[in-house]
């Protein structure tokens, strides 16, 4: 995809913030943020949406009042429950190594074989286990046993999901594959009738991207060589040919591994900032007289699984006509970086050069969430509202979600890098030729201020079987990041730039090639600091109105004596939750595309419409609610 480029002429002087160089170098950057300012109105809309506050803070002076903030209730530490260990089907006392290290010490196939051995060694002998042996069961195994399920329905469902993902990845839930296609014109008419677009051409362009198959692929080749055909007529004529060729195309090969970072961090990180901390062990008396203990970590695991596989994880979507939420319960800000080795600009900052695989558009992903939105998100959600939100702390392709707990901000002069804690006036400067990012500033920006923010999030740690859990047991982690904020004449924040150092840039591979031996020595002295790449790709928050996503089953018997096992009809209701299927189909508004490769020509790759039914096993909400209640 061709993108507009910005040509930037600068001296190495501006790169390293010394006065010893004067040679001019030419750089070309794509015409997207951070080299093109984002509209101030877009920043305002994003802050309003993510904070769910009509009276959100946008003025810098007002934001200063919240230069540090902390959530009302501290989120709790847990683990991300690695997928290659079976999620919460893992008897975690054995998990000191393996998925909890960055190296793939154990493959998921190895862990699957261990689980199959466990079925014979533990599950089939469950009635013979002592109380101490019951204590060491996996969270899902304890849950199954509590419900009287000695077939371990939820536990097996979790391993079925892990195996299916390991072997087939996203294609594990594939239910419909329309290789031929040919329906894009009909779909365009449909969405035009729905009012999605104002004219057929725009609707047809959308339909081609979302529903186009082999027939559309062939038709576009025809129209390139024959002007006599319209695309629609060419599609109709290409359908028989597509039917003949469809068997030549197969799904692309998928990696049969499970990344060590994959798990349900999205469940833990969302629940930990909202659901009360499980503080103590909860015990039940089984019918045979044995005691079944749920440690706080077991309860955290069940909560995390419930939140990971519930509809709350869908994006919040407000119907413009009714004003009601017809989607999910999370609000995202920013985009995931999909590049393993993104490029860096002359200031050592990551930026984007590869178009998105789905939209084919170049988007600001690896550059991080916009610093103005990040700053105002902290101020409005944690500072003002005292609510936690989730930060994706990993730059580049891996995803690592954590609940954010607190932050502290300091301010510096963006031209000198000096911090003045006594006079804010010395930290705010007028934008002039001394500003290293002058040409990228918003037209309305008059002033700029440097910000150092230290965010504190709850880190994951290896699960432990402890009788109690408190704030002192939490694992916290601090991350320092640097950016600046652009301020207009009214004092409102209208933009900003990420920084790798307070002023100038850190050492970047390739920069020294422009310098002489003497210059190189001086350059190294002026750039001893490593580039600070700490900005989050994205952050997200659970909507204030999250409770409707977790409604208890009211059609089952009342659990009267909660010191013993629940009524027998709870098991059947629980199996319904374990069998929950998430439908990613056209009828539910999904327009998924699958890559197909020509068996006879590996360079011939097409994308065709497809539909999925994803397994999302959940524990019964009623059981989880009772565990939360008793563990406070």
405: number of Cβ within 10 Å = 22
Same-domain status, 445 and 522? yes
Q: Would you tell me the crossing angle of helices 621-631 and 569-578 to the nearest 10 degrees?
A: 110
Mean pLDDT (10-residue bins), the chain, 632 residues: 53 38 57 94 97 97 97 95 93 59 60 92 96 97 98 97 89 94 94 92 93 94 74 92 96 82 92 97 97 98 98 90 89 85 85 79 89 98 97 69 95 95 95 94 98 94 93 93 97 96 67 45 46 80 96 96 96 97 92 93 94 96 98 94
My answer on whether omega of the bond before 293 falls inside 30° of 0, hence cis, is no
Same-domain status, 473 and 611? no
Token pair 């699957």 in the structure block, residue: 112
What is the chain's Cα-based Rg? 28
Q: How far apart are CA 228 and CA 443, in angstroms?
A: 48
Q: How far apart are CA 345 and CA 34, in angstroms?
A: 10
Same-domain status, 319 and 423? yes
Residue (of 52, 37, 64) closest to 494 by Cα position: 37
Q: How far apart are CA 309 and CA 620, in angstroms?
A: 12
Assigned domain for 121 exists: no
Same-domain status, 319 and 458? yes
Q: What is the pLDDT of residue 506?
A: 57
Domain tally for the chain?
A: 2
Assigned domain for 600 exists: yes
Helix (H) or strand (E) holding 5: strand 5-11
Same-domain status, 500 and 590? no
Assigned domain for 553 exists: no
Q: How far apart are CA 29 and CA 32, in angstroms?
A: 8
Q: How far apart are CA 35 and CA 439, in angstroms?
A: 8
- pTM of the complete model: 0.88
Assigned domain for 100 exists: no
Q: How far apart are CA 497 and CA 370, in angstroms?
A: 8
User: Is residue 316 a contact partner of residue 329, using CB atoms and an 8 Å limit?
Assistant: yes
Q: How far apart are CA 316 and CA 338, in angstroms?
A: 23
DSSP 212-279: --HHHHHHHHHHHH-TTS-HHHHHHHHHHHHHHHGGGEEEPP------TT-SSHHHHHHHHTTSPP--
Q: What is the pLDDT of residue 509?
A: 45
- Beta strand 249-251 pairing with 174-177: unpaired
Assigned domain for 112 exists: no
Contact residues for 379 (Cβ-Cβ < 8 A; gap 6+)? 57, 63, 66, 69
Same-domain status, 479 and 589? no
How many residues are recorded in the chain?
Answer: 632
Domain end, chosen from 493, 518, 542, is at 542
Domain end, chosen from 493, 525, 542, is at 542
Assigned domain for 145 exists: no
Q: What is the pLDDT of residue 355?
A: 85
Same-domain status, 207 and 325? no
Same-domain status, 476 and 332? yes
Same-domain status, 589 and 514? no
Domain that holds residue 245: 178-255+583-615
Assigned domain for 622 exists: no
7: number of Cβ within 10 Å = 8
Token pair 């659970």 in the structure block, residue: 542
pLDDT tens across 63-87, in order?
Answer: 999 999 999 999 999 999 999 999 9
Residue (of 374, 399, 318) closest to 51 by Cα position: 374
Same-domain status, 223 and 332? no
Same-domain status, 423 and 332? yes
Residue (of 545, 535, 456, 542) closest to 496 by Cα position: 535
Same-domain status, 422 and 320? yes
Assigned domain for 88 exists: no
């Amino acid at each position: 995809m061709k993108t507009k480029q910005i040509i930037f002429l600068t001296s190495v002087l501006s790169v390293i913030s010394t006065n010893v160089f004067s040679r001019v170098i030419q750089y070309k950057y794509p015409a997207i943020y951070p080299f093109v300012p984002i509209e101030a109105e877009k920043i305002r809309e994003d802050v309003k949406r993510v904070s769910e506050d009509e009276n959100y803070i946008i003025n810098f002076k007002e934001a200063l009042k919240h230069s540090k903030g902390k959530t009302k209730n501290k989120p709790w530490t847990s683990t991300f429950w690695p997928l290659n260990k079976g999620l919460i089907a893992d008897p975690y006392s054995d998990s000191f190594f393996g998925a909890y290290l960055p190296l793939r010490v154990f493959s998921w196939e190895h862990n699957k074989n261990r689980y199959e051995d466990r079925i014979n060694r533990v599950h089939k002998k469950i009635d013979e286990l002592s109380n101490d042996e019951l204590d060491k069961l996996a969270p899902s195994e304890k849950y199954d046993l509590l419900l009287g399920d000695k077939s371990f329905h939820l536990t097996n469902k979790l391993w079925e999901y892990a195996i299916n993902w390991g072997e087939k990845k996203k294609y594990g839930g594939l239910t419909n594959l329309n290789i031929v296609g040919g329906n894009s014109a009909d779909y365009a008419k449909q969405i035009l009738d729905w009012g999605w677009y104002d004219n057929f051409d725009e609707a047809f362009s959308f339909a081609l991207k979302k529903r186009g198959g082999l027939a559309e692929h062939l038709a576009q080749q025809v129209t390139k060589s024959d002007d006599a055909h319209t695309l629609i007529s060419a599609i109709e004529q290409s359908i028989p040919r597509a039917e003949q060729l469809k068997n030549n195309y197969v799904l692309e090969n998928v990696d049969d591994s499970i990344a060590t970072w994959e798990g349900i961090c999205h469940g833990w990180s969302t629940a930990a900032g909202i659901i009360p901390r499980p503080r103590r062990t909860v015990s039940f008396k089984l019918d045979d007289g044995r005691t079944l203990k749920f440690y706080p970590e077991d309860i955290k695991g069940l909560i995390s699984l419930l939140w990971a596989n519930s509809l709350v994880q869908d994006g919040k979507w407000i119907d413009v006509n009714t004003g009601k939420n017809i989607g999910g319960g999370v609000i995202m800000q920013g985009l995931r970086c999909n590049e393993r080795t993104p490029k860096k600009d002359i200031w050592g900052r990551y930026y984007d050069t590869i178009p998105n695989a789905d939209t084919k558009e170049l988007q600001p992903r690896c550059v991080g969430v916009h610093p103005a939105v990040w700053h105002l998100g902290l101020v409005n959600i944690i500072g003002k509202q005292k609510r936690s939100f989730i930060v994706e702390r990993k730059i580049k392709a891996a995803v690592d979600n954590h609940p954010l707990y607190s932050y502290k901000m300091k301010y510096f002069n963006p031209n000198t890098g000096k911090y003045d804690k006594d006079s804010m006036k010395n930290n705010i400067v007028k934008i002039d030729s001394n500003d290293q990012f002058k040409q990228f500033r918003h037209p309305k920006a008059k002033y700029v201020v440097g910000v150092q923010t230290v965010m504190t999030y709850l880190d994951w740690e290896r699960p432990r079987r402890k009788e109690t859990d408190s704030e002192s047991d939490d694992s916290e982690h601090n991350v320092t990041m640097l950016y600046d904020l652009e301020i207009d004449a009214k004092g409102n924040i209208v933009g900003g730039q990420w920084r790798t150092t307070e002023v100038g840039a850190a050492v970047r591979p390739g920069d020294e090639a422009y310098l002489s031996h003497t210059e190189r020595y001086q350059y190294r002295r002026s750039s001893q600091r490593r580039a600070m790449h700490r900005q989050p790709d994205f952050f997200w928050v659970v909507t204030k109105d999250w409770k409707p996503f977790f409604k208890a089953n009211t059609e089952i018997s009342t659990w009267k004596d909660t010191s013993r096992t629940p009524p027998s009809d709870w098991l059947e209701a629980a199996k319904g939750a374990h069998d929950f299927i998430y439908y990613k189909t056209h009828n539910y508004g999904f327009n998924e595309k699958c890559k197909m490769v020509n068996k006879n020509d590996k360079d011939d790759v097409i994308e065709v419409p497809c539909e999925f039914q994803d397994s999302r096993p959940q524990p019964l909400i009623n059981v989880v609610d009772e565990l939360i209640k008793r563990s406070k």
